[in-house]
Chain A
């Protein structure tokens, strides 16, 4: 698989604010993208996905934006809550394999 970032940046937001987590992916042939949330001591949990024929998809309090031109993916969380504190991974497929980005830690301040 292609390389992914090794850096784990941290985003700190105030409770109630909106959060935006960004991801640069590396495989131009990818056609499926996912955001996972991982809380401490747990396995990754699916949040939302998007296929390459779309540029935006909304879920409950979350929106994923895809810009294939610049290979950029973002996750927007509305009205961030303390329970949103976790590490967030963007993931993309390469054929039948999945590649995980390096992750972003979201910290929500009460």
Chain B
């Protein structure tokens, strides 16, 4: 089944404790992206990747890191999480370079930073 998977689905952590949210897609997609969703704010793009070893900042990259060492994986790293990073996070992918194609979204990761 073609899908985007994220792990963990739920995470509660404390301020300053490094964490990684994994994202994997099995569709051989080139474009991958991370979003955060906050009440009343819709989805905002954090980082995106056009292909392996190519990543770029989105609208809200501060406090986040990403890497794209393999085509299928695009982990989101919070080196020192803070309470304002409490949010619902979505990973997405699309088959072609660039954002101008249908994106497939993962199920989301709900992160709480205390």
Residues of A within 8 A of B (CB): 1, 4-8, 31-32, 34, 41-46, 49, 51, 89, 93, 95-103
Contact = CB atoms under 8 A, between A and B. Distances in A.
Contact of A34 (B44, B48, B102, B106): B102
A51 B99 CA distance: 12
B43 interface: yes
27 contacts: A1-B58, A5-B42, A6-B41, A8-B40, A31-B100, A32-B99, A34-B103, A41-B108, A43-B92, A43-B106, A44-B90, A44-B92, A45-B105, A49-B102, A89-B42, A93-B98, A93-B99, A95-B99, A96-B56, A96-B97, A97-B45, A97-B58, A98-B99, A99-B59, A102-B40, A102-B41, A103-B42
Contacts of B44: 100
A14 B6 CA distance: 36
B85 interface: no
Interface residue range, chain B? 20 to 34
B33 interface: yes
A43 B99 contact: no
**Of listed A45, A98, A103, residue having the most chain B CB within 10 A:** A98
Contacts of B98: 93, 96
Interface in B50-93: 50, 56, 58-59, 90, 92
Nearest to A103: B42
B74 to A, nearest CB: 15
A42 B109 CA distance: 10
Given A5-B42, A43-B90, A43-B92, 17 more contacts: A7-B40, A31-B100, A32-B100, A34-B102, A42-B107, A43-B4, A43-B105, A43-B106, A43-B107, A43-B108, A44-B105, A96-B99, A97-B45, A97-B48, A97-B59, A97-B99, A100-B43
B104 interface: yes
Nearest to A102: B42
A101 B100 contact: no
B48 A93 contact: no
A41 B109 CA distance: 10
Contacts of B90: 43-44
